[in-house]
Amino acid sequence: MFLPFLFGWLIIRLLIVIIKEINLKLSRSKSVKMKTIKYTNGLFVNNFIDPKVLFVTRFKSLANIGMIRFTDSTKAYAVIMEKFSNEITEVYQYNSFDYYENKTLFYVTIFVLKNKRIVEIGFDYTEILYTNNHYSWANALLSDLANCRMEERTKVMGFARSEVMN
């Protein structure tokens, strides 16, 4: 009489353990998919985020790239903030403190926008990453950024703190 009862109890305990293990594996696989970013080998280049790899990992597609050189980064930043402030979802910056100007200056700013678009503003360039659906948007933005052309600078030979010498 006791042996069938013990056998039934062991089968029920075994089923409970198996069901808990299955639920645990399912919950782990869901949480891991939500939190991890795959293919991070090239995400950080030169101590900061590579926007092309960020685009691929975030949007799961390759980007079209538009680039404009010799832009004033402060003016380009203002254009992006004015036109797309309500579309910006994330901002990443690489900053450095400048003792001579007594303020923090950015070297690179990356804006992640809605609808699979990224804008990177560097020292003298702006790069636009977008999908195939946004060609007209990219061309219009490049035209707007053409108005942010950097002023001509006087090149200095040798060691000097200022670009313009007396």
Q: 96-137: per-residue pLDDT in tens? A: 898 998 998 888 999 999 999 999 999 889 999 999 999 999
Q: For residue 24, name the pLDDT band (cuts at 50, 70, 90).
A: low
Q: What value, to the nearest 5°, has the Cα angle with vertex 144 and ends 106 and 94?
A: 15
How far is residue 93's CA from residue 123's CA, in Å, rounded to a whole number? 12
Sheet holding 64-69, edge to edge: 64-69, 125-130, 117-121, 103-113, 88-98
Residue 71: the pLDDT is 93
Tokens representing 130 are 């977008």
Q: How far is CA 120 from CA 25, 70, 110, 160, in A?
A: 40, 14, 4, 30
Q: For residue 166, name the pLDDT band (cuts at 50, 70, 90).
A: very low
Q: Are 135 and 65 in contact (CB under 8 A)?
A: no
Residue 35: the pLDDT is 42
How far is residue 106's CA from residue 122's CA, in Å, rounded to a whole number? 8
Residue 38: the pLDDT is 58
Q: Per residue in 135-163, pLDDT tens? A: 999 999 999 999 999 877 656 565 555 55
Q: Per residue in 32-61, pLDDT tens? A: 444 455 555 556 666 688 899 899 889 988
Sign of the Cα torsion 62, 112, 98, 48 reads negative
